[in-house]
Amino acid sequence: MRFLGALALVVALSGCTTAYYSAMEQFGQHKRDILRSRIEAGQDDQEEAQEQIKSTYERFKEAANYDGGDFEKVYNQLNGDYEDAVARAEDVSDRIDSIEEVAADLFAEWQQEIGLIQRPSLRRQSEQSLRDTKKRYQRLIGAMKRAEAKMPPVLNAFRDQVLFMKHSLNARAIAALEGTVGEIENDVASLIRDIDASIREAESFLSELPDA
């Protein structure tokens, strides 16, 4: 498995998608398998992003009640959490792109192969299966993108506060945190709910996607 991962990375970095698929097929990994694995990885990425955003928000809440003098320490903690949250959000966006890529290639191949089926009854069944899978996929990718779209407002609020604190490093910057925490509470809660919904949608899609 480690070798397969390394092979996938090398071929993917070459920029040749066709070569990547061909190499993976040599080890029994077809587009459907790749899509499954990317969606599963997407669930992990979303869970990690969700946990990081939660912890970053909690850090901001704690900092709003800070009653000490080491403002630089508070800034460093908040900035570190913010940067971690940004990195996790970028992982989610990159994963969505990779899922869309392989899904488009899988559906194109599926449609092309349907044209090779001679028996009408079998062709109709395959066409219906493709339509059903596409519908489920659209629900999934829609849920993922809804959650993704709610990340920037939260991250931007974190960034604004971190930069304000960087420029001040005083009690006034700490006091400003309380207002920020209150303003984004609903945004954070909505984002967490949408990530949960996206993860559930992925579970539903995977449960109906046949194994190879």
Query: Where does the pLDDT of residue 133 fall: very low under 50, low under 70, confident under 90, or very high at 90 and above?
Result: very high
Query: Where does the pLDDT of residue 211 fall: very low under 50, low under 70, confident under 90, or very high at 90 and above?
Result: low
149-193 per-position pLDDT tens digit: 999 999 999 999 999 888 887 878 888 887 788 889 999 999 999
Going from the C-alpha of 59 to that of each of 62, 66, 70, 203, the distances in angstroms are: 5, 10, 15, 31
- Quick check: 176 and 161 in contact, CB under 8 A? yes
103-124 per-position pLDDT tens digit: 999 999 999 999 999 999 999 9
The Cα 55–Cα 61 span in angstroms is 10
Q: The pTM is what?
A: 0.86
- Quick check: 157 and 36 in contact, CB under 8 A? no
Higher-pLDDT residue of 2 and 123 is 123
Q: Which two tokens stand for residue 145?
A: 């993108």
- Count of CB atoms within 10 A of residue 11's CB? 18
Going from the C-alpha of 95 to that of each of 77, 79, 152, 168, 205, the distances in angstroms are: 27, 24, 16, 37, 16
The Cα 60–Cα 56 span in angstroms is 6
pLDDT value of residue 189: 95
Arithmetic mean of pLDDT over the chain: 89
Which helix or strand (DSSP H or E) is residue 117 part of?
A: none
Please state the rounded mean pLDDT for residues 134-138: 96
- Quick check: 174 and 74 in contact, CB under 8 A? yes
Which of these ranges, 9-18, 60-69, 139-148, 170-179, has the smallest mean pLDDT?
A: 9-18
Instruction: Report domain extents, the chain.
Output: 34-207
Query: Percent of the chain scored above 90 by pLDDT?
Result: 67
The Cα 59–Cα 51 span in angstroms is 12
Going from the C-alpha of 42 to that of each of 24, 86, 88, 122, 199, the distances in angstroms are: 19, 16, 11, 33, 8
Please state the rounded mean pLDDT for residues 5-20: 58
pLDDT value of residue 14: 44
